[in-house]
């Protein structure tokens, strides 16, 4: 499982922004200036409506219902079985002007939770971090594999250290052989496995927590994001997390609905990485505080 998980991380793309997502956003906000933070509608009127509701099937062929206006496009949540989540997917993150975020380097709109990696030179869906161990980014498509990789690394190191513990204790406590006659190869392996294992156990614990609260490492470090309300107002969220739909739902978003596949490195994550369910109660509470 350790090697399977690691290979899965290496060969799986973290996920990039689909062209049909870009086309759909540009279609809904026709007249967008690619070099400007302000999105314009025909007649040179600034777009000040609610954040668009967008189709969830960007990774599954053509966008559906492209003739419908933004406020009419909705995606049923029932198929995913989320609890505490809104009925629709909605683009909620904005830039400093209150408009859909735009990547000047990729020259394209950015889905929620997407960040541009300066190393990979591209936008990564739900980017967690750039990992030197895997020679690439950890994002929506390979986050489960990365989590299983560090989980099984922690298990493996713990197993090695526990297996050698009795031999180390016996060797060091045996006065007849002397300390310098002890097999230092065993002691070295035990020490490396123990120290590395404790580190990775803590690392795994951190990522378990992040999955359960539906945050990425970047989101946890940033600590704040701009959220746009249905009335066009912008809320600077420092502690609130609109993506937190409960530990169980958050876990299934990354690991999948089938418990039998949770700890097997196969694709089972829910969604497409472009749109995410939000906690409607938390979303409403943000803007009720400002009114």
Q: Which residues are catalytic?
A: 131
| Residues in the chain, overall count | 291
Indicate the DSSP class of residue 79: G
- In sequence order, the β-bridge partners of residue 122 are 117
Whether residue 278 contacts residue 229, with contact meaning beta carbons closer than 8 Å, is answered with no
d(Cα 228, Cα 231) in Å, to the nearest integer?
8
Residue 167, Cβ neighbours under 10 Å: how many?
A: 14
**Strand duo 45-46 + 102-103: pairing:** unpaired
- The b/e string for 269-286 (b: 16+ C-beta within 10 A; e otherwise) is bbbbbbbbbbbbebbeeb
User: Packing angle between helix 143-173 and helix 2-11, nearest 10 degrees?
Assistant: 140
Radius of gyration for the chain, computed over Cα atoms and rounded to the nearest angstrom: 23
Whether residue 250 contacts residue 213, with contact meaning beta carbons closer than 8 Å, is answered with yes
Indicate the DSSP class of residue 44: T
At 125, phi and psi to the nearest 5?
-65, 130
Whether residue 95 contacts residue 103, with contact meaning beta carbons closer than 8 Å, is answered with no
Contacts of 137 (CB under 8 A, 6+ apart): 14, 117, 119, 120, 124, 127, 128, 129, 130, 131
């Amino acid at each position: 499982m350790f090697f399977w998980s690691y290979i899965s991380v290496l060969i799986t793309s973290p996920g990039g922004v689909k062209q049909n997502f870009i086309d759909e956003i540009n279609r809904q906000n026709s007249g967008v200036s690619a070099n400007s933070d302000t999105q314009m509608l025909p007649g040179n009127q600034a777009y000040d409506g609610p954040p668009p509701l967008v189709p969830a099937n960007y990774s599954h062929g053509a966008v559906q219902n492209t003739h419908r206006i933004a406020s009419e496009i909705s995606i049923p949540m029932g198929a995913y079985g989320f609890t505490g989540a809104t009925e629709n997917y909605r683009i909620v993150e904005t830039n400093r002007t209150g408009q859909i975020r735009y990547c000047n380097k990729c020259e394209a709109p950015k889905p929620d939770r997407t960040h541009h990696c300066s190393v990979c030179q591209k936008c990564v869906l739900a980017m967690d971090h750039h990992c030197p161990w895997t020679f690439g980014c950890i994002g929506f498509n390979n986050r489960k594999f990365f989590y299983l990789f560090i989980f099984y690394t922690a298990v493996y190191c713990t197993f090695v250290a526990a297996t050698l513990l009795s031999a180390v204790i016996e060797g060091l406590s045996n006065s007849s052989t002397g300390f310098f006659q002890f097999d230092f190869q065993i002691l070295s392996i035990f020490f490396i496995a123990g120290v590395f294992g404790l580190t990775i156990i803590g690392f795994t614990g951190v990522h378990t927590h992040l999955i359960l609260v539906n945050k990425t490492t970047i989101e946890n470090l940033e600590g704040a994001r701009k959220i746009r309300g249905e009335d066009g107002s912008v809320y600077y969220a420092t502690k609130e997390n609109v993506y937190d739909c409960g530990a169980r739902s958050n876990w299934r978003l990354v690991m999948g609905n089938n418990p039998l596949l949770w700890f097997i490195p196969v694709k089972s994550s829910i969604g497409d990485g472009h749109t995410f369910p939000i906690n409607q109660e938390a979303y409403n509470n943000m803007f009720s505080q400002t009114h």
